[in-house]
Structures are given as C-alpha cells and as structure tokens.
Amino acid sequence: MSSASISALLTLLALAEPPPSSPARQAEPEASPRPWIERHPPRRGTVELGAFGGAWFPSRRLELFEADDSLSGYGYQRLKVASPEGGLRVGAYPLRFFGVELEGAVMPTRIRSSDVRATAWALRGNVVGQLGRWSVTPFVLVGVGVLGMASVGTPVGLGRDQDFDLHFGGGVKVFVTDRLQLRLDLRDVITNQAGIGDGLTHSPELLLGASWVLGRRRRPEPSPPPAPVAAVDDDRDDDTVLEPSDRCPDEPETFNDYEDDDGCPDEVPPELDEVVGVIEGIYFDNDQAVIRPESRPVLDRAVEVLRLHSGVRVRIVGHTSSSGGYLHNMELSRRRAAAVERYLVEHGIDAARLSTDGVGPTQPIDTNETVEGRARNRRIEFRVVGEVSSVAATHGAGPVVIDPDG
C-alpha cells in the first residue's frame, strides 16, 4: 500500500470525534445528605413526653372563686395580669398528622388588690392536627379540660373552685433530631365569666416546651452511589485500556486517534497527520434520504479508494440539525447513512466492510441557532474502525457536510 494511496483514502475518510487527549478518571460524587428541614419529619406510631413553661394571662372577669356567703371576704377578685405557667404533657400520635394529648399545669398567681397568693391549675385533653412533612411542623389543637383555683389567705382569698374549659390554639414543633423536639404554643382558654349567666371569658396562654419522642425509627440517609466495580483485568499504567488487551501494560496509551485501543504509546504517521477538517460533497434532497446526483463524484472516489484498500472497515454515521422532531431526525440520520452504504455496495464494495449508524441531532459540531450552523450539523461521517481481519484502532475522518437545504 503506497503512501499516496493511503493519503487519498484518508483525505476522504476524516477522523471521527477525537477521544479526550487525557482520559482522566473522575471520582464519583458523594451523595449529599438531605437538608435538615427534610430530615426529621413526624412519624406515625410515636409517643411524645414533654415539659413546658410559659405565661398565663387570666381574664379580668375570670369566674374562679368560692361563692360561699359563710366565708367572710371570699368572692370575685381580679388576678394579676400575667402569671407564670409550667406543666407536663404526654402525647400519642398514631398518624404522622394526628394525635391526642393529656396535660397538667400549674399557674402560681396573686390577687391584685391584696397580693394574696393563689394557685390556678389545669387538667386538659387535646386533639392535635399537624402538617407532618418537615422538621418544622405547624399544628393546631382543640381540647377540653378543668381549670381550678386554690387560694386561702389573709386577709382575703378566693377559696377553691373549678370550671370546665374549652381551649384551642396552634403553634409549631421543631424536631431538632429524631428524638428531641421543641414546641411553641399560643392558645385561648375559654371559661365562665364572673357572674351567673354572664357568658364566657378568655384567658390566653403562651407556652414554650421540649419533648422526647419515643417509638421513632431513624429515617435512613440516602445510600451513596455504589462504588464502581473493580475490573477483573488490571490496568497497571492507568490508561483505561485493560489487560490483556493492553499490549504495553507498563506504558500508557497515547490518545491521538491512531491505534488508541492497543494501549501503547505511539505517534500519528505523517500520512494520517494531514487529515483534519471537513470534506464537503455529499448532498441529499430536503428532509429525505435521496442522494443528489452532484454527490456522485465524491462517492465514486470513495469507491475507488476503498477498492484499492480492501482491508479497511468503515462505519458511516449520519447526523442532522435540531430542526424538526427528535425521533424523525434520528430516523432520517439512519436512513441517510444507509443510503450512502447502499451506494457503495452497489458499486462493488463488500457490505461486510461497512456498517452504519444514525445519531440525529445529538452530536452537533456547530450551533443550531443559525442557518450556517445547522448546515454544518447536517452531515455524514466516515469512520475507519479497523481492518477486515481484526478491529484495530478507531480512526475517523472529519464529517462530510450535507447540503444546507437537506
């Protein structure tokens, strides 16, 4: 095979897309943990044990006193505007968005007029509905209970009394971890107003608490992607060509589009080094796989060169621009590659030496935003993939541009 003949062949068959000059291996990225806001949402089947503290704002008309005429000085008296409150609660949550609670609380206070001590207390049951999707969980509640008072003092106390209460409110839970929860409540406690038949009155509460969550199974973090399975074959020179295919196991391959699969360092022969760029001359009818007559000189020259070098195997790859539907373009690129193959076979080239592929718009070499760019992207590529007897390196030649109207 003369140098002139090889040069003629490879001037027509330009090199395929070059592999990266340095086939660097990239480490697999580690899986990122879920953000905290998604990490500890409520779970069903849990129990919350908690304590809370805050402020109670008793109504100025709160009807909590012992109405007994035999007890001198006892009767309705106003309490301090705000009183501390503390208590314990237990909650059961069969569902992540629904639960029931029991609470007990005490509110030490004083009578405004006499500064006599008084102790209010409460026992309550709550029904809780919550938006159980995130670590920060808004909720609402409604419940009933008993609100009591105990005050026996000198000179004047309130005696002992209890009333039923209705309360409602809302707040937010913050699941700091799977076990630890912080909670903020704002409620309105509705009880009888002082004076028989005088209606109802309101005593707000502001509570801050903490709870320990039982029965909660830790939500597993997403598993990191599996580590790449180590190849059975070795790659001592780290050039991605595995033994025993690597003919030079201790010397890395030179990736230069010439015999890049043998694993050996090499240089491109001079007759190959001159082959770069785009060779024009194959045209198709618009949106068809029909080869135009003006393409025949280029194809006939390809036939002539392939006859001279009968050991070369060639893959014909069709490309399109992004104009039109994706599936249509994929099919069109395959049909155009097959049309070129058919022409070569009809003119005497053994079909066993040829193969085809169509990649549609997936491998552009220019922008698809301009007429000129789309014209360059509509092309046929000839790629030398080896010899008939054995597959050698994957060469290629530059793309053959199709008619801009095609």
> In this structure, how many other beta carbons lie within 10 angstroms of the beta carbon of residue 130?
22
Burial class from Cβ neighbours inside 10 Å (0-12, 13-18, 19+) for residue 220 reads exposed
Q: Look-up: residue for tokens 């801009």?
A: 404
> How far is it between the farthest Cα atoms of the chain?
132
CB-based contact 374:368 (threshold 8 Å): yes
Q: Look-up: residue for tokens 């030398």?
A: 384
187 - beta bridge partners? 169, 205
Which helix (H) or strand (E) is 173 found in, with range?
Answer: strand 159-175
Q: CA angle, corner 118, sides to 183 and 147, nearest 5?
A: 55
Q: Assign 245 to helix, strand or coil.
A: coil
Q: Is 197 left (phi over 0), alpha (psi -120 to 50) or beta?
A: left
Burial class from Cβ neighbours inside 10 Å (0-12, 13-18, 19+) for residue 295 reads buried
For 229-272, how does the pLDDT look when each residue is reduced to its tens digit (9 = 90+)? Answer: 554 557 777 777 777 777 788 778 766 544 556 677 766 445 33
For 132-160, how does the pLDDT look when each residue is reduced to its tens digit (9 = 90+)? Answer: 888 899 999 999 999 888 776 555 566 67
By C-alpha distance, which of 359, 353, 380, 384 is closest to 257?
Answer: 384
The whole-angstrom separation of Cα 99 and Cα 101 is: 7
Q: What is the pLDDT of residue 23?
A: 38
- Rg of the chain, C-alpha, whole Å: 43
> In this structure, how many other beta carbons lie within 10 angstroms of the beta carbon of residue 73?
12
CB-based contact 384:314 (threshold 8 Å): yes
Looking at the domain that runs over 37-214, which CATH code has it been given? 2.40.160.20
Task: Please state which architecture CATH assigns to domain 3-22+255-401.
Answer: 2-Layer Sandwich (3.30)
CB-based contact 190:167 (threshold 8 Å): yes
Q: Look-up: residue for tokens 């027509």?
A: 12
| ω into 226 cis (within 30 of 0) | no
What are the Cα distances from residue 264, in Å, to 49, 136, 155? Answer: 70, 60, 106
Which residue intervals of 67-158 are DSSP H helices? none
What are the residue ranges spanned by the domains of the chain? 3-22+255-401, 37-214
CB-based contact 41:134 (threshold 8 Å): yes
How would DSSP label each residue in 362-383?
SS-SS-SSSHHHHHHHSEEEEE
Q: Look-up: residue for tokens 């109504």?
A: 59
Q: What is the pLDDT of residue 229?
A: 58
The whole-angstrom separation of Cα 258 and Cα 386 is: 10
What are the Cα distances from residue 74, in Å, to 150, 195, 209? Answer: 12, 14, 35
CB-based contact 280:340 (threshold 8 Å): no
Query: Hey, CA dihedral for 331, 336, 337, 342, is it positive or negative?
Result: positive
Q: Which amino acid is present at 247?
A: R
Contacts with 335 (C-beta within 8 Å, 6 or more apart), sequence order:
289, 318, 358
Q: Look-up: residue for tokens 């409460």?
A: 122
From first to last of its 406 residues, what are the pLDDT tens digits of the chain? 555 555 555 555 444 444 443 333 333 444 456 788 888 889 889 999 999 999 989 888 777 766 655 555 556 677 888 889 999 999 999 998 999 999 999 999 887 777 778 888 999 999 999 998 888 999 999 999 998 887 765 555 666 777 888 999 999 999 998 899 999 999 999 988 766 556 888 989 999 999 999 986 655 555 666 666 554 557 777 777 777 777 788 778 766 544 556 677 766 445 334 333 354 678 889 989 998 999 888 888 878 877 887 777 788 888 899 988 899 999 999 999 899 899 989 999 899 988 899 999 998 989 998 999 898 888 888 777 666 654 333 334 444 444 444 4
- Rounded (to 5) percent helix, strand, coil in the chain: 15, 35, 50
